[in-house]
Amino acid sequence: MTKSNAQIADASSPGPARWRRAAPVVTLLLLSPFISEVLFGATHMTTLFVFVPQMGTWGCGALIIRYLVQHQQRNWTSILLLGIALATAEECVIQQTSLAPLVGVDPARVYGRILGVNWVYLLWALGYESIWAVVLPVQLTETVFPARRDDSWIGRRGLAIAVTVFVLASVVAWYSWTQVARPQVFHVPSYQPPLRSLLIALTIITVLAVIALVPQSSPRPGQRDARPAPRPWLVGTVTCALSLPWFLLLALAYGAAPALPSVIPIVIGLVLAASVFFLIRCWAAGSSWHDIHRLAAASGALVASMLAGFKVSGIVLPVDYIGKLVFDGIAILLLARLSSRLRASEHTRST
């Protein structure tokens, strides 16, 4: 079919054409909160009603980040930096979870809280939310729609809508957690972070955004190393094994080992994060690193979060355990189907 004929076909069937344009947007809006909240288990079957505002914060946040990075022709490092900025906004400005005393923690066993900051929890949250709520959903969406990988997916009007929804959803998230859930559901005192802490958080967000989006003097590097990438199964196994320890930070933040000096897990966590970053960056620089490897890396991290969620996400009710099993099972089947499709596509290209 020629280009003109394709345009005529789209014009005669505006519904399917409109869906093809919107499909990556809808997928990312759903994947971001589904991966970070539902598959992990933080959002249970009995609390699925919060999924819609989560689409507004995490989904729109991830969509905005991808648009900005694509518009500035930046790389995955910029997506990660903006993901950390979004996580900082969530933890210190929107829901303020890393500034307020943690819900469910014994006041006599507060761990890693210094100068009004839950440092161990904050480190876990910055890593988790930037990767599992931003980087992985964007990576998976681009893998599902490889032909649209270089598109922005939304224009300026779409960006304006996404920003508006993000702001409104953030206000809802702030009010529902800080003004309703904490005092009325969990029966803990209301907490107002110091203005100094909020200003520091806003400054960090601004600095991260500037670093991530500052114009480059040269385009994205196009040269790739000739060294072969590891086999996909090995990539997935390694990312799963390296992701699991990250969730120990969450357990420690809730008092799993109160006698352990908090500086130890913080230093180990930072070393682990840097090691994984440089390892993936080294692998991805190889000329044989393809979508099947990207999917394997994402799948390993997802399996780690799904497994860890059974222990550290706070699931209590049997219906929530069953719901998590169902959602996790569906996710694994979808990942396997996508892997099969990618393998078939690579086999076709090689022959």
Q: Tell me the pLDDT tens digit for each residue of 275-287.
A: 999 999 999 988 8
To the nearest 10°, report the CA torsion of 47, 50, 52, 58.
Answer: -120
DSSP letter (8 states) at residue 286 = B
Give the model's confidence band at 110: pLDDT under 50 very low, under 70 low, under 90 confident, else very high: confident
Report the pLDDT averaged over residues 334-344.
94
Lowest pLDDT segment from 63-67, 146-150, 265-269, 330-334: 146-150
Please, are residues 250 and 304 in contact by the beta-carbon 8 Å criterion?
Answer: no
Residue 203: pLDDT above 50?
yes
Give the model's confidence band at 218: pLDDT under 50 very low, under 70 low, under 90 confident, else very high: low
Q: Tens of pLDDT along 222-272?
A: 555 667 889 999 999 999 999 999 999 999 999 899 999 999 999 999 999
Tokens of 283: 């692998």
Give the model's confidence band at 14: pLDDT under 50 very low, under 70 low, under 90 confident, else very high: low
Q: What pLDDT score does 228 carry? A: 83
CA distances from 316 to 104, 183, 309, 310 (A): 13, 21, 12, 10
Give the model's confidence band at 5: pLDDT under 50 very low, under 70 low, under 90 confident, else very high: very low
Q: What pLDDT score does 22 carry? A: 92
The chain-wide mean pLDDT, for the chain, equals 90
Q: How far is C-alpha 95 from the chain's CA centre? A: 17
Please, are residues 238 and 300 in contact by the beta-carbon 8 Å criterion?
Answer: yes
Q: What pLDDT score does 2 carry? A: 41
CA distance 82 to 112: 25
> Strand 113-114 vs strand 117-118: parallel, antiparallel, or unpaired?
antiparallel
Residue 140: pLDDT above 50?
yes
Q: What pLDDT score does 13 carry? A: 53
* Cβ atoms within 10 Å of 225's Cβ, excluding its own: 14
DSSP H/E element including 118: strand 117-118
CA terminus-to-terminus distance, the chain: 23
Task: Please give the backbone phi and psi of residue 330, each rounded to the nearest 5 degrees, phi first.
Answer: -60, -45
Q: Tens of pLDDT along 19-32?
A: 778 999 999 999 99
Contacts of residue 248, defined as CB under 8 A and 6 or more positions apart, other chains included, come to 256, 265
* Cβ atoms within 10 Å of 9's Cβ, excluding its own: 12
Q: What pLDDT score does 105 carry? A: 85
Q: What pLDDT score does 91 carry? A: 97
For the chain, give percent helix, strand, coil, nearest 5: 75, 0, 25
| % of the chain residues with pLDDT over 90 | 78
Q: Where are the domains of the chain?
A: 25-350
CA distance 95 to 93: 6
Which pTM does this prediction carry?
0.91
Report the pLDDT averaged over residues 41-48.
93
Residue 217: pLDDT above 90?
no
CA distance 58 to 55: 6
